[in-house]
């Protein structure tokens, strides 16, 4: 858990929280990396933990995709 926290604090990963009202449901982290061979940037949703993933997976993926498209 300490490694994830360090990656978040350093800006290597972005933290996503899934809430129902003010109640915590789940968390995920994402990262953007550049493929050396092509220069293409790839966003990855990783480190997912929580409950009821099937209820919010599509919405979370859409939010990460929208966020990734705005990153330089």
Where do the structural domains in the chain lie, given as residue ranges? 2-69
pLDDT at residue 5, rounded to an integer: 83
Model pLDDT for residues 21-68, shown as the tens digit of each residue: 999 999 999 999 999 999 999 999 988 999 988 899 999 999 999 999
The pLDDT assigned to 4 comes to 82
pLDDT of residue 1 exceeding 70: no
Cβ–Cβ under 8 Å, residues 28 and 58: no
- Name, in order, each residue with C-beta under 8 angstroms of 31's C-beta and a sequence gap of 6 or more: 7, 12, 13, 14, 43, 44, 46
pTM: 0.80
């Amino acid at each position: 858990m300490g490694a994830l926290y360090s990656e978040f604090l350093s800006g290597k990963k972005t933290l996503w929280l899934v809430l129902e009202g003010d109640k915590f449901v789940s968390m995920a982290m994402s990262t953007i990396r550049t493929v050396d061979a092509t220069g293409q940037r790839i966003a990855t949703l990783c480190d997912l933990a929580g409950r009821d993933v099937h209820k919010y997976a599509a919405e979370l993926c859409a939010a990460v995709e929208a966020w990734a498209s705005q990153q330089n």
